[in-house]
Amino acid sequence: MKKLSGIVLVCCVGIIGYAGDFEDNIDAAKRGDAKAQCIIGNCYSDGDGVEKDVMQAIEWYRKSAEQGNARAQRNLGRCYRDGEGVGQDEKRAQELFSQAVNTWRKLAEEGDVDAQLALGNCYIRGEGVEKDRQQAIEWFHKGADRGIAKAQYALAMAYYFGPDSDENKMLAMLWLTKAAEQDHVGALSFLGTCYSFGDGVEQNGEKMLACYRRAAELGDSTTQFMLGLSFERGDAGIEKNLKEAAFWYQKSADQGDADAQYHLGCFYLSGNGVGLNIPKAIELFRKSAAQNNAEAQYQLGECYESGLGVPQDMTQAIAWYRKSAELSYAPAQFQMGFYYHFGIGVDCDTKKAAEWFRQAAEQGHPEAKKMLSEQ
């Protein structure tokens, strides 16, 4: 089965969990509420509403897990499995996963849909049980057959990311469509991308737009960005419309989407789809760069190098190019190699130059390949 490319696609069964705000839950967590404690752990783990702090995340997960909260047990188990904030300990990880599985299995057998999805996810990942996609599908089916959209989406993803076959592709599209018809945002977005690439369905720009637009109207920032990108590029044969692209980039950027902030910044820098506004472009690039968007960091490097919208400052330029290069952005890696090769803004260092050129060349950067061949 052809897998979609160019867009990061997250299987919903990998992100089932509590949603919540730090400020809304911290008081309850301090009072000992296990669900709130798990949410606070998630907030610290993701840097959501609070500065990211893995050790704090682990502490809150531990408090919640000790009260038998299955999601906290699962999350703490992942920390032990991956050695994140604690010493790597596969045995302890599996103990925690098994505790979570036992809790979820009991609830799942009683018909709890969230537990069924969580248990299915354990079978997908092999957390506390042996990996078994068919077992996962059986648990997802229980909710999907009852018409529950999130279970239909989980089932669609299990088929989509399963063994490559026409039957799995057909079943993935069937359940994806059912979930999308109930306004499941993830299903709408994923199905829109399938129509964009012609994956599992015939390529159809109008159906792509219908799916993306509905998810975007429901407030999903990622799909708002994808809709803007489709209008900018003219995906699936639709007519390019830069004003429409700018509109959806703005919607997404207002919600903090780093990709949308970068693309909207490029529009303001060039005047495409919006009025030329270089200070606004710089502001958007900074917001995006602060979220580790490598393209935005590279763009800030160019602005500081040329003095476009900011005082010309080679030290700042190199600092931003370096940040971008360290995130494996090939143009920035080439730029760093170039500066070290010729001693521009840094001391000449042919060894460092060659290393940056090599990293860029491995990603297919043609000029980096040329520089390496000439050394």
The residues spanned by each domain of the chain are: 1-182, 256-327, 330-375
Q: Which residue has the higher pLDDT, 100 or 17?
A: 100
The neighbour count for residue 16, using CB atoms within 10 Å, is 16
Instruction: Give the total residue count for the chain.
Output: 375
Protein fold of 256-327:
1.25.40
pTM of the predicted model as reported, rounded to 2 decimal places = 0.88
Residue 281 reports pLDDT greater than 60: yes
Amino acid letter at 133? R
d(CA 303, CA 324): 14
d(CA 284, CA 264): 7
Residue 116 reports pLDDT greater than 90: yes
Written as six digits, the tokens of 7 are: 């867009």
Residue 4: per-residue pLDDT: 53
Average confidence (pLDDT) over 243-251? 98
Structure confidence at residue 362 as a pLDDT band (50, 70, 90): very high
Residue 16 reports pLDDT greater than 90: no
Residue 18: per-residue pLDDT: 57
Q: Which residue has the higher pLDDT, 219 or 2?
A: 219
d(CA 191, CA 214): 11
d(CA 191, CA 260): 21
Written as six digits, the tokens of 109 are: 């057998």
Angle (deg, nearest 10), helices 185-197 and 205-217: 160
Residue 233: per-residue pLDDT: 98
Structure confidence at residue 21 as a pLDDT band (50, 70, 90): confident
Average confidence (pLDDT) over 18-27? 83
Give residue 162's Cα distance to chain centre: 21
Residue 230 reports pLDDT greater than 80: yes
Residue 11 reports pLDDT greater than 70: no
Written as six digits, the tokens of 273 are: 């789809």
Structure confidence at residue 2 as a pLDDT band (50, 70, 90): very low
Residue 111: per-residue pLDDT: 96
Q: Do domains 1-182 and 256-327 have the same CATH topology?
A: yes
Structure confidence at residue 20 as a pLDDT band (50, 70, 90): low
Least confident residue range of 1-15, 24-38, 154-168: 1-15
Residue 107 reports pLDDT greater than 60: yes
Four-point Cα dihedral 321, 322, 325, 326, nearest 10: -150
Residue 310 reports pLDDT greater than 60: yes
- Spell out a b/e string for 47-84, using b for 16 or more CB atoms within 10 Å of the CB, else e: eebeeeeeebbbbbbbbbbeeebbbbbbbbbbbbbeee
Average confidence (pLDDT) over 69-77? 96
Residue 12 reports pLDDT greater than 80: no
Residue 5: per-residue pLDDT: 40
Residue 19: per-residue pLDDT: 54
Pick the CATH number of 1-182 from 3.40.50.2300, 1.10.10.10, 3.40.50.300, 1.25.40.10: 1.25.40.10
Given a contact cutoff of 8 angstroms between Cβ atoms, the answer to whether 212 and 227 are in contact is yes
Angle (deg, nearest 10), helices 113-125 and 149-160: 10
d(CA 361, CA 259): 25
